[in-house]
Structure 1
Amino acid sequence: MRYTGRKALAALAVAAAVVALTTAPAQATGTPGFTIFVAPGGDDHDRGTPGRPVATLEKARELARGLSARGNVTVALAGGTYRLASPLKFTSEDSGRNGHTITWQALPGQTPVLSGGLPVTGWEQHDPAAGIYVADVPKGVDSRQLYVDGVSAPRAAIPIARTDVQVTPTGLSIVNPALGYLATLPDQDRIEVESQNSFTDRYAPVESITGTTITMRQPAWNNNNWGYDTLAHPFAGGTLLLENSYAFLQTGQWYLDPDAGKVYYKAPAGWDPAHSDVELPRLSSLVQVSGTRTRPVHDLAFRGLHFEHTTWLQPGTSVGYANQQSGTFLAGAYPQPADFLTSCQLGCPLFEAARNSWHQVPAAVQVSAARDISFTGNTFAHLGQVALGIGNDANAHASGAGLGASRITVHRNTFRDDAGSGIVAGGVQPDAHHPADPAMADRDITITDNLVTDVARDYKDMAGVLTTYVTHAVIEHNEVSDLAYDGIDVGWGWGANDPGGSQDYRDRGLYDYQPVYSTPTTLKDTVVRYNLVHGTKKVFHDGGSIYNLSANPGAVIDRNYVYDNHETVGLYLDEGSRYVSLTGNVIQDSGVWAFTNASATNNTNDNTFRGNWYDTGLTRVVTGEPHHNVLDGNVQVADGNWPAEAREVMRQAGIEPGRDPS
């Protein structure tokens, strides 16, 4: 239940005694504990007591700073919606000090929502025959998301056949006469093309449409059409869509005109705007936890909070979303071959020159240059990008300080209805894998007992959980489900940054632009254990339900249960995967239960598949020279007759008994 005004104040009185009990042990041992009460109906001139709560999170943060050196601090939030005008920022000054912790938490039984959105009200019929409603919003506010009654509504869009258009160096040429009306549409520069390919999900914005010529904005168009799995030449051509025009509205879809300050919604039959909750995001992030390498933020905890309603506008700009894999994209203009539409569709040297400048999709909740931070029992929902980003590259952090995350715990949270991944930990640029300063390394990231479901709704190329260059990431007892792409992905770099490099990347020209490293990357000792992964690969066939990329010494993928992946790959070791042990996993109804992307030149070597169970699917693990991959004691099961050991893995996989995330 959400509380506002007097209702929140009344709830404080009931909850204050409960919160006091939680601070009593600290007081009993001689260490004072302090509680700051916050409620939407409070007053920032008050002191933050149960009877006189403050109103804003910013004021509570100020009060916490003044108390943290003296004892543990609890910031207790009453239920209700806290609408943020700007992201809530935690710097080094907001750390727990002298061994103390600052905990931001919900009052018992209440639901505080940190929202970056605006409520949309005052709906009127705009086109009754078509069921289209209109409402006013502030002029200039733009968004790629709209949430109707707690669910993200899709933008106005229509699918087209790839044969309807022809790719040119400057855009598209319309071949199907039925699309001739596009040249008559207003606001053509808000229209976008989305291309769902083999493993990439690409967005390119239109500049103008004249006759049968669609001119696309640059550099988005060029960047989406070179490298691998491009818009022009996808490895497996999936859906192609035209998006974001009033003319495309279908039932359940919406369109925003920011210049006019109007949002349109083509409602399903029986929709009642008077009893509907519609939220339009206006912030691109909600919470930013970031210090510096010499003064990291530390000893902060977040419990029982809801993080909701953000957007990410970059795909609609001239940069577009030139997606490369798993939420990385090209963010600038690069030198390209003149004939890139033909010569650079399976990579080329100039494409390799751009590889180390790939950016990451930023998160709604960002953590970098930080240690000893925990998220427990929170809900990350209705977010327009990655939900929680931990130690990503600097370009993905609004603070400008990336990486440097250590001892971060993510436990018993729910991630749902988000546009990007649930969790992304680690970066992809050189400082992520060979940090110039040891303080930049990401390490000891623990992700346990979380529900990650129905995420990556808009940027479908993203896994539910991704960790890249992280030392000792533990991904254990999570349930990851309902995804267009992979469930859990680990690693980065295709082996190119591992000691000695990769012959594949010598041949492609990468080392004309970066060194061949002689030392290992920071990726090692990953644990992926007892996870329940299902309902994956709904759009993209490439990748795997559980996936590793590059050398990962000491990695263990152990006793996970994978099913319902649309007969794709269950356990996937991609280029350069080395030293990974995969044991005791149960893989049900896959097309390929185990796969190594191994060639004589890509170092996918020295991995072990031992004691796994599977019922269907091929075994595509290369075991001979020079790979030395091992297959040992794996058992194919017929007619659902799983042995007791396999049934025990099935039973234990996923969220452990206790309070399930909700």
Structure 2
Amino acid sequence: MVELLGGTYRLTSPFRLGVEDSGRPGHPVVYRAAAGQTPVLSGATRITGFSRVDTAKKIYRAKVPAGTASRALFVNGVRADRARGPRNPSGFSVTATGFTTSDPSYTSWTNPAQVEVVENNAWKQMRCPLASITRSASGGSDLTVDPACWNNNHTAVPNPGFPFNGAGLPSMDGITWLENAHQLLGTPGQFYLDDSADYLYYVPRTGEDLATADVELPVATELLDASGTPGHLAPVNDTDWRAVYTGSWGYSSGRHFGDMAADVHYTSTDGDAVSYTFNGTGIQVLSETSSDEGDADVYIDGKKVSTVSGNGPERLAQQAMVSVTGLPKGTHTLRLVNTGGTYLLVDGFTVIPDVVAPVHDLVFSGLTFAYTTWNAPTAEGYVDNQAGVIWDPTTRTPISIPAAVQVHRGARITFSDNHVQHTGTSGIALADQTQDSTVKASSITDTSGTGVAIGEVDDYYQTEPALMTSGNTVSRSVVQFPGQEYQDAVGIWVGHSTGTAISNNDVGYTPYSGMSIGWGWGWASNCTLQAAQGLPDPCLHGTTYTGGNQIIGNHVHSVMGALFDGGPIYTLGGQSAPSEFAGNVLSECINGCNMIYHDEGSSRWNTHDNVVRFSNGSLWTNLWTPSIHDDSIHDNYSDTASYNNSGTNIAFQQATVVADGNWPPAAQAIVDAAGPGTLPGKVVDDDDLRVSYAGSWLSSGSRGIGDLDNGVHYTQQNGAAATITFTGTGCSFLTETNADEGDVGITLDGVSKGPVSANTSERHVQQKVYATSGLTAGRHTLTVTKLSGTYLLVDGFTLS
């Protein structure tokens, strides 16, 4: 056991643990906070010595160490934004190389190569650095985007199709905002790092004194890295230079059968062979199964080890026809010889370069991980696919945002009672086929990327249990404010996995979906279902090991604050075994939402006993296309009757529709059981499950005017009431006051405390219009009721 004393441990590179640092089953190595101590592992350097350099704009400047690069800054524990311009600036049009405008002022911007153009388009956020800003022929400004990034995000967006992305292909064709120019400074809470001159510029918020403020500039990407062997496994194409084909092989490209890179090598001649020399401990060969495929003999280092068959009743692409593991580490040669059938196809090879040895049996408890940055997008841009899965800008293969706390090929790794916060990366990643690992009773808040990520997107074909993501759990944790920089990121993301359990978490305040579960779109749906969706025939069709997952008892709320076409819990792709989606409370959609969203290819979900509320015009469930199939949707509760069921073989039951918050006992029991229990802290947001609403209420998020957690519930109905039951000695009610607000009735423990007024001539947010203290310690109930005026807003409560 290793105990850490309190204090800040500043890291410039991660604390690394390997297989040799592992514990034993039942006897893990434990890293924990000493009793009563709060150790913080920080990836930041503290910046001091600010002086004012622009009185009019209130800009301050401080020297930073030479060569410092960062995309993130935190002042007194609050995220600062890189200097940015107004949203959706007018007057820009697309050119062959970027954007142009009649406004000549952009040509005066300094360091144009540090400027970034950002666009939110549908479910994607795309970012590109500029190459230059020049005077246009018409006297305006030409913004030339970095050519490689412009190609990836605009001209030739990566589009391999299933199982890596879907049919929709939003591209960079507009500007949501411009970012990271010194000339954009002037808004409190924004910064600019001039890494060529080693100066940090910042505009303080009201109340911030930079002489005493804790200004943290992240410089590290990772804080903890626990890695087993081998690392990430990904197949290479059949055209790889190490593949030697002997005999009368043909080559076919541009196929629409789901082949890797849309090509294969094939032969119909017995005795034809392919050899592949590799360094490692194993190899897998991807092929196709079909009724016209036959047998092949497998040789390793000249010795026959097996006979395999590609014969099957259905055409399936990218099948692991050969899987050889457990070889002594070194140089080996695979030889695959055709012995029968009409065809033998070779589609790819996956080399296992090292022994399969997970880092294992480690526990991390009571630790805080804070302050990281990820600088790759500064030079390369951000080439988004979906939900924090992006395209490598060079190889155009799928990758993910790195995490502050990273596990690569782990087993029985436990994170308990930890805090991951204020990161320029994702929070925690259980990557590279990590198994039987747990995140529990932890908080992951304020991340630039995803909160918690599990699994991969490129191991769908896997048949070896040791090379699958399996048995992982995220439970009783709080995951809030993910995607604060990369707004496509989600709270909890799960790729291909089996036996994953996501239970009793609180996930909220997300710019895109709350959770994204599964991958592959319609890849695992057969060609008949794909044709019914209107997709090309033949089709991109294969298999996945994903299945047997559970999404149980979560509270997911205040989602879709920036992007569109997502939901509180979003599922994607097929499940190979039945999975369960039950007991969840899904609340407060802001934009472009489907509350229970089984998207393309989702199958074998048993979706029941969920509560949908404050859907704000969204469908309570949307099964929009025939490739969604064999799901059971029953015994759910909703405040809207609207739904779409265009799936195939769906056992569908309309939800019990509930008006005015009058949830029946069974639904209320689901609400009471959801989430991790009472959230810590003395501030209760309007989204909290301790707050119940009776009457006609709606929610409004991402208002941007200073609400507690950027959202409120509101009613225009006199007599509508909100109630909080709490344990303590005092409580106050936070609301908005304005000219359209009126009187509010206050009842404490069933006794009227008279009306209070929320009416003022000007708008004021987070106003404490009622407070009580000195109560007998114990359980109390406060109810606020709309009596008059146009609106009553509930922004939250504070407890003592």
Q: Same fold (TM over 0.5)?
A: yes
Q: CA deviation at 1:660?
A: 8.7
Q: 1:106 to 1:655 in 2, by over 3 A?
A: same
- Of 602, 608, 623, 1:577 maps to 602
State which structure, 1 or 2, has the greater radius of gyration over its C-alpha atoms.
Answer: 2
Task: Determine whether 1:252 maps to 2:252.
Answer: no
2:659 & 2:565 partners in 1: Cα distance? 26
1:273 & 1:615 partners in 2: Cα distance? 48
Q: 1:289 to 1:649 in 2, by over 3 A?
A: same
What residue ranges of structure 1 are gaps of 5+ in the alignment?
1-73, 335-353, 392-402
Q: What letter is aligned with 2:37?
A: Q
Q: 1:243 to 1:501 in 2, by over 3 A?
A: farther
Residue in 1 that maps onto 2:369: 307
Residue in 2 that maps onto 1:121: 48
Within-5 A mapping of 1:474-493: 474-493=501-520
Residue in 2 that maps onto 1:210: 134
Residue deviations 1:599-626 (CA, integer Å, cap 9, x gap): 34xx211111100000125111226xxx
2:538 & 2:403 partners in 1: Cα distance? 31
Q: 1:259 to 1:200 in 2, by over 3 A?
A: same
Q: CA deviation at 1:501?
A: 9.2
Residue in 2 that maps onto 1:408: 437
Residue in 1 that maps onto 2:484: 457
Question: Do the aligned partners of 1:487 and 1:534 also contact (CA within 8 Å) in 2?
Answer: yes
Residue in 1 that maps onto 2:634: 610
Q: 1:440 to 1:162 in 2, by over 3 A?
A: farther
- Of 13, 19, 33, 1:86 maps to 13
Residue deviations 1:320-342 (CA, integer Å, cap 9, x gap): 101110112222358xxxxxxxx
1:207 & 1:510 partners in 2: Cα distance? 42
Q: 1:641 to 1:506 in 2, by over 3 A?
A: closer
SS in 1 for 2:643: strand
Residue in 1 that maps onto 2:732: none
Q: 1:427 to 1:650 in 2, by over 3 A?
A: same
Q: How many residues align?
A: 538
Q: CA deviation at 1:215?
A: 1.1
Task: Determine whether 1:144 maps to 2:59.
Answer: no
Q: CA deviation at 1:273?
A: 1.2
Residue deviations 1:581-608 (CA, integer Å, cap 9, x gap): 11000000212343334334xx211111
Question: Do the aligned partners of 1:223 and 1:333 also contact (CA within 8 Å) in 2?
Answer: no
Q: What letter is aligned with 1:246?
A: H
Q: CA deviation at 1:510?
A: 11
Task: Determine whether 1:288 maps to 2:225.
Answer: yes
Residue in 1 that maps onto 2:80: 153
Question: Do the aligned partners of 1:220 and 1:320 also contact (CA within 8 Å) in 2?
Answer: yes
Residue in 2 that maps onto 1:548: 571
Q: What letter is aligned with 1:217?
A: D
Residue in 2 that maps onto 1:275: 212
1:486 & 1:97 partners in 2: Cα distance? 38
2:465 & 2:526 partners in 1: Cα distance? 18
SS in 2 for 1:129: coil
Q: 1:291 to 1:316 in 2, by over 3 A?
A: same
SS in 2 for 1:284: coil
What residue ranges of structure 2 are gaps of 5+ in the alignment?
136-140, 160-167, 231-355, 684-800
Q: CA deviation at 1:296?
A: 1.1
Q: What letter is aligned with 1:479?
A: D
Q: CA deviation at 1:161?
A: 3.3
2:151 & 2:131 partners in 1: Cα distance? 13
1:581 & 1:377 partners in 2: Cα distance? 31
Q: CA deviation at 1:286?
A: 1.0
- Of 619, 624, 627, 1:598 maps to 624
Residue deviations 1:610-658 (CA, integer Å, cap 9, x gap): 00000125111226xxx11122252111222110000111111111369
2:142 & 2:387 partners in 1: Cα distance? 32
Q: 1:511 to 1:428 in 2, by over 3 A?
A: farther
1:380 & 1:373 partners in 2: Cα distance? 16
- Of 243, 259, 263, 2:200 maps to 263
2:660 & 2:94 partners in 1: Cα distance? 48
Within-5 A mapping of 1:549-564: 549-552=572-575, 553-564=577-588
Residue in 1 that maps onto 2:676: 655
Residue in 1 that maps onto 2:772: none
Aligned residues: CA RMSD: 2.4
- Of 398, 406, 430, 1:390 maps to 430
1:166 & 1:609 partners in 2: Cα distance? 46
Q: 1:99 to 1:638 in 2, by over 3 A?
A: closer
Q: CA deviation at 1:417?
A: 1.1
Question: Do the aligned partners of 1:416 and 1:452 also contact (CA within 8 Å) in 2?
Answer: yes
Task: Determine whether 1:469 maps to 2:475.
Answer: no
1:325 & 1:545 partners in 2: Cα distance? 15
Q: CA deviation at 1:499?
A: 6.2
Residue in 1 that maps onto 2:548: 525
Task: Determine whether 1:194 maps to 2:85.
Answer: no
SS in 1 for 2:520: coil
Q: 1:634 to 1:510 in 2, by over 3 A?
A: same
- Of 629, 653, 662, 2:650 maps to 629
SS in 2 for 1:649: helix
Q: CA deviation at 1:448?
A: 0.2
Within-5 A mapping of 1:17-56: none
2:618 & 2:25 partners in 1: Cα distance? 53
Q: What letter is aligned with 1:322?
A: V
Question: Do the aligned partners of 2:589 and 2:618 also contact (CA within 8 Å) in 1?
Answer: no
Residue in 2 that maps onto 1:422: 451
SS in 2 for 1:460: coil
SS in 2 for 1:223: helix
Residue in 2 that maps onto 1:173: 100
Q: What letter is aligned with 1:330?
A: W
1:268 & 1:200 partners in 2: Cα distance? 30
Q: 1:497 to 1:316 in 2, by over 3 A?
A: farther
1:264 & 1:107 partners in 2: Cα distance? 38
Question: Do the aligned partners of 2:18 and 2:226 also contact (CA within 8 Å) in 1?
Answer: yes
Q: 1:216 to 1:80 in 2, by over 3 A?
A: same
2:419 & 2:483 partners in 1: Cα distance? 16
Q: CA deviation at 1:269?
A: 3.7
Q: CA deviation at 1:383?
A: 0.8
SS in 1 for 2:193: strand
SS in 1 for 2:667: helix
- Of 414, 417, 421, 1:374 maps to 414
Q: 1:661 to 1:409 in 2, by over 3 A?
A: farther
Q: 1:498 to 1:521 in 2, by over 3 A?
A: farther
More divergent stretch after superposition (546-555 vs 369-378): 546-555
More divergent stretch after superposition (98-107 vs 521-530): 98-107
SS in 1 for 2:105: helix
Residue in 1 that maps onto 2:248: none
Q: Point out the structure with the larger strand share.
A: 2
Residue deviations 1:512-540 (CA, integer Å, cap 9, x gap): 9xx742xx412101111110111111112
Q: 1:256 to 1:529 in 2, by over 3 A?
A: same
Q: CA deviation at 1:97?
A: 3.8
Question: Do the aligned partners of 1:131 and 1:268 also contact (CA within 8 Å) in 2?
Answer: no
2:584 & 2:66 partners in 1: Cα distance? 49
Q: CA deviation at 1:169?
A: 2.5
Residue in 1 that maps onto 2:699: none
2:214 & 2:537 partners in 1: Cα distance? 51
1:182 & 1:617 partners in 2: Cα distance? 50
Question: Do the aligned partners of 1:408 and 1:444 also contact (CA within 8 Å) in 2?
Answer: yes
Q: CA deviation at 1:545?
A: 0.8
Q: 1:511 to 1:469 in 2, by over 3 A?
A: farther
State percent identity of aligned pairs.
33
1:659 & 1:232 partners in 2: Cα distance? 41
Q: CA deviation at 1:437?
A: 4.8
